[in-house]
């Protein structure tokens, strides 16, 4: 069988999205937005257009801030001003010209920020300092400010505003980034959420913040065009694991069903790594989830296609290969070799 005959290259309908294949360009922080105002440039539009032109089925953008307090490093784009929204129209129009589908990932880093970036103390569910240094700024994370109820409500409202602006900018959907130890995940994590109000306590209460954000976003865009990225792994705490794996996963899935979510993006560094009871993370999700699953985690073409063929995942997301190969899909379909990702070479430019 030639590569072009693989299941991963076949068109698929995912709710309202008619995708030309099952290959997803994963969200990739690049840091090339205008730092002073969070708008995206013609260079960024060309970057996404090239991947759409060369065949990506679904593009998930780099993380986009719904509010300034969500910014975690230099050059991160936003979707909370008219100028930012207008600048993203160049991107969505370029992608759509080539028959592509693109969704905006909404991302608030919470405590993983710094006052040099956002003009005030970072926000978090509790005043607990993260270990490590701020990306590109190279300063230690600061002690964050424990959010008041009013501040929580304000962030929820900004996620709704960002979803509204995503629609105005022409995006086909949104992804809520609830993974990797960022703000939403900080509320869910018992190590970073020590609150004793309605947003703290047991797991179901710690999931409340995510539930409210989903409800707010759904006021602007239908549930079947919303993806949720979630994970066990934390970018700032490599030792972290869910103490009760099965119970925690079940609580997430219960929330997603309750809120009408049908597209999940479970995130892990290694797709094939054993997670629990002989299953990897995506297999554990599939065992309890009847809807759409996006696979990710250092996948290669053959592993991804087998996972799709076996019904474990519906779409397969690739990150670093798309940075190094704008024409990744065409290369795979034609059986051509792909360029190996080299951070020194590939992170310094958009191509």
SS (H, E, C) the chain: CCHHHCHHHCCEEECCEEECCCEEECCCCCCCCCCCCCCCCHHHHHHHHHHHHCCCCEEEEEEEECCHHHCCCCCCCECCCHHHHHHHHHHHHHHHHCCCCEEEEECCCCCCCCHHHHCCCCEECCCCCCCCECCCCCCECCCCEECCHHHHHHHHHHHHHHHHHHHHCCCCEEEEECCECCHHHHHHCCCCCCCCCCCCCCHHHHCHHHHHHHHHHHCCCCHHHEEEEEECCECCECCCCCCCHHHHHHHHHHHHHHHCCCEEEEECCCCCCEEECCEEHHHHHHHHCCCEEEECCCCCHHHHHHHHHCCCCCEEEECHHHHHCCCHHHHHHHCCCCCCCCHHHHCCCCC
| Cβ neighbour number for residue 284 with a 10 Å cutoff | 18
Q: How many CA atoms lie within 13 A of 133 on its CB side?
A: 5
The residue annotated as part of the active site, out of 48, 141, 182, 199, is 182
Sequential pLDDT tens for the chain (351 residues): 567 789 999 999 999 999 999 999 999 999 999 999 999 999 999 999 999 999 999 999 999 999 999 999 999 999 999 999 999 999 999 999 999 999 999 999 999 999 999 999 999 999 999 999 999 999 999 999 999 999 999 999 999 999 999 999 999 999 999 999 999 999 999 999 999 999 999 999 999 999 999 999 999 999 999 999 999 999 999 899 999 999 999 999 999 999 999 999 999 999 999 999 999 999 999 999 999 999 999 999 999 999 999 999 999 999 999 999 999 999 999 999 999 999 888 988 888
pLDDT of residue 144: 98
Task: Encode pLDDT of 240-265 as tens digits.
Answer: 999 999 999 999 999 999 999 999 99
224's tokens: 């079947």
The pLDDT tens digits of the residues spanning 135-163 come to 999 999 999 999 999 999 999 999 999 99
**pLDDT, position 273:** 96
The pLDDT of residue 141 is: 97
Backbone dihedral angles phi then psi of residue 280, each to the nearest 5 degrees: -85, 170
Cα dist. 47→85, 134, 300 in Å?
Answer: 18, 26, 22
Asked whether 329 and 305 are in contact (CB, 8 A), the reply is no
Question: What pLDDT sits at residue 166?
Answer: 98
Give strand pairing partners of 315.
Answer: 294
Q: Tell me what pLDDT residue 5 has.
A: 86
- Per the listing, tokens 């309908």 go with 13
Predicted pLDDT at 350: 87
Distance of alpha carbon 154 from the chain centroid: 21
The Cα diameter of the chain in Å comes to: 58
* pLDDT for position 1: 55
182 is catalytic: yes
For 82, the token pair is 């008219």
Task: Label residues 152-191 b or e (16+ Cβ within 10 Å = b).
Answer: beebbebbbbbbbbbbebbbbbbbbbbbbbbbbbbbbbee
Candidates 152, 145, 124; CA nearest to 208 is: 152
CA distance 148 to 309: 47
- pLDDT at site 3: 78
Q: Report strand pairing: 274-276 vs 279-280.
A: antiparallel
Cα 17 to Cα 76: distance, rounded to the nearest angstrom: 27
């Amino acid at each position: 069988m030639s590569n072009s005959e693989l299941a991963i290259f076949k068109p698929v309908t995912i709710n309202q999205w008619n995708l030309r294949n099952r290959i997803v360009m994963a969200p990739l922080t690049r840091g090339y937005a205008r730092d002073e105002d969070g708008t995206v440039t013609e260079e960024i539009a060309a970057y996404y257009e090239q991947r759409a032109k060369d065949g990506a089925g679904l593009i998930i953008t780099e993380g986009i801030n719904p509010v300034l307090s969500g910014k975690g490093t230099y050059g991160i784009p936003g979707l909370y001003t008219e100028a930012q929204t207008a600048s993203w129209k160049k991107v969505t129009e370029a992608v759509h010209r080539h028959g592509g589908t693109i969704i905006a990932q909404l991302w608030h880093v919470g405590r993983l920020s710094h006052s040099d970036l956002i003009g005030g103390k970072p926000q978090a569910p509790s005043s607990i300092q993260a270990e490590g240094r701020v990306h590109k700024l190279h300063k230690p994370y600061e002690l964050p400010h424990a959010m008041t109820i009013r501040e929580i409500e304000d962030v929820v409202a900004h996620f709704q505003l960002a979803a509204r602006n995503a629609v105005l900018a022409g995006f086909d959907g949104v992804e809520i980034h609830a993974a990797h130890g960022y703000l939403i995940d900080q509320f869910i994590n018992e190590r970073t959420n020590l609150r004793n109000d309605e947003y703290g306590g047991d797991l179901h209460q710690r999931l409340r913040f995510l539930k409210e954000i989903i409800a707010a976003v759904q006021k602007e865009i239908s549930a079947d065009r919303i993806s949720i990225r979630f994970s066990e792994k934390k970018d700032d705490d490599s030792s972290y694991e869910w103490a009760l794996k099965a119970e925690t996963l079940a609580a997430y899935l219960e929330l997603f069903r309750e809120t009408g979510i049908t597209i999940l993006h479970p995130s892990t560094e290694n797709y094939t790594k054993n997670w629990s009871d002989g299953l990897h993370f995506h297999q554990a999700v599939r065992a309890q989830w009847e809807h759409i699953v996006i696979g990710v985690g250092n996948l290669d073409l053959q592993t991804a296609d087998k996972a799709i063929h076996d019904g474990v995942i519906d779409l397969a997301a690739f990150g670093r290969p798309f940075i190094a190969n704008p024409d990744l899909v065409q290369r795979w379909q034609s059986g051509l070799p792909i360029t190996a990702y080299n951070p020194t070479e590939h992170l310094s430019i958009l191509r």
